[in-house]
Amino acid sequence: MNRIDETFKRLRQKKEKALVGFVSAGDPNISQSLRLIKAMCESGVDILELGVPFSDPTSDGPVIQRSSGRALKSGVNLKAVVEMTREIREFFAHTPIILFSYYNPVLAYGNKAFYNDALAAGADGLLIVDLPPEESEEMTSEWRGNDLSLIRLIAPTTPQERMAKIAASASGFLYLISKIGVTGSDGLDTGDISEHIKRLRSVTQTPICVGFGISTPQDVAAVASHADGVVIGSAFERLIEENLENPEIVSLLAEKVRACKAATVETS
CA 79 – CA 77 distance, rounded (Å): 5
pLDDT of residue 268: 56
Of 16, 49, 117, 219, the catalytic one is: 49
- With the C-alpha atoms ordered 130, 131, 134, 135, is the resulting torsion angle positive or negative? positive
CA 242 – CA 246 distance, rounded (Å): 8
Cβ within 8 Å of residue 161, ≥6 positions away: none
Listed residue (136, 141, 143) closest to 152, CA to CA? 136
Listed residue (152, 153, 92) closest to 123, CA to CA? 92
pLDDT of residue 66: 95
Of 16, 27, 46, 60, the catalytic one is: 60
User: For the chain, what are the domain ranges?
Assistant: 3-11+19-262
DSSP code for 244: T
Q: What is the pLDDT along the chain (268 residues), one digit of tens a residue?
A: 699 999 999 999 999 999 999 999 999 999 999 999 999 999 999 999 999 999 887 777 889 999 999 999 999 999 999 999 999 999 999 999 999 999 999 999 999 999 999 999 999 999 999 999 999 999 999 999 889 999 999 998 999 999 999 999 999 999 999 865 544 445 567 778 999 999 999 999 999 999 988 999 999 999 999 999 999 999 999 999 999 999 999 999 999 999 999 999 976 5
137 is catalytic: no
Q: Is 35 helix (H, G, I), strand (E, B) or coil?
A: helix
Cβ within 8 Å of residue 204, ≥6 positions away: 163, 164, 167, 168, 170, 174
CB atoms within 10 A of CB 44: 18
In CATH terms, the superfamily for domain 3-11+19-262 is: Aldolase class I (3.20.20.70)
DSSP code for 53: P
Q: Bridge partners of 231?
A: 20
60 is catalytic: yes
- Cβ atoms of 208 and 166 closer than 8 Å: no
Q: Largest Cα–Cα distance in the chain?
A: 50
Q: Which residues of 85-103 are buried (b: 16+ CB within 10 A; e: fewer)?
A: bbebbeebeebbbbbbbbb
pLDDT of residue 252: 98
CA 256 – CA 39 distance, rounded (Å): 11
